[in-house]
Amino acid sequence: MNSIEFYFEDVNPVSIHKKLLVLQLNSLIKNELKILGEVSVIFCSDEYLLQMNKEYLDHDYYTDIITFDYVEKEVISGDLFISLDRIRENAKNFKTSLLKELYRVVFHGVLHLVGYNDKTEEEQKTMREKENYYLGEVDFKEKLL
């Protein structure tokens, strides 16, 4: 079964324009020559994600996203845990809308699943270019679905 599901864990739900985001993620996966499997996007708080970061990655710091990769060959599957607190703060710091920053972080997680990394400066540059490309495919001014 192929699907993209959204959940809110320990935070109040926010409007994510689910139909549009699903269309964009499907387009990203197809454009990267991959096949959609099962992707879960779980929005949570800073504290929830910090606890996961400590427990699963042995990191003691806040982050905006943790991606669990269950990819098998060309089939893209995984869990994206995303801090809404970080999204809000990043949107303010980067002077962008909450929705645009939310999409950037979701795209970032899916880009990891399709095979992009961001450990080196060159990888970070490529990741940012890909994020910007896919954000450019979204018309945030149009009435969203």
Domain annotation covers residue 54: yes
Domain annotation covers residue 45: yes
Q: Which domain holds residue 76?
A: 3-136
User: Which pLDDT tens digit goes with each residue over 19-53?
Assistant: 999 999 999 999 999 999 999 999 999 999 999 99
Q: By mean pLDDT, which of 109-113, 120-124, 135-139 is the weakest?
A: 135-139
Domain annotation covers residue 145: no
pTM above 0.85, yes or no: yes
User: Which pLDDT tens digit goes with each residue over 67-106?
Assistant: 999 999 999 999 999 999 999 999 999 999 999 999 999 9
Inter-residue contact 6 to 134 (CB < 8 Å): no
Domain annotation covers residue 90: yes
CATH of residue 31: 3.40.390.30
Q: How many domains does the chain have?
A: 1
Domain annotation covers residue 144: no
d(CA 71, CA 76): 5
Instruction: Give the per-residue pLDDT at 144.
Output: 52
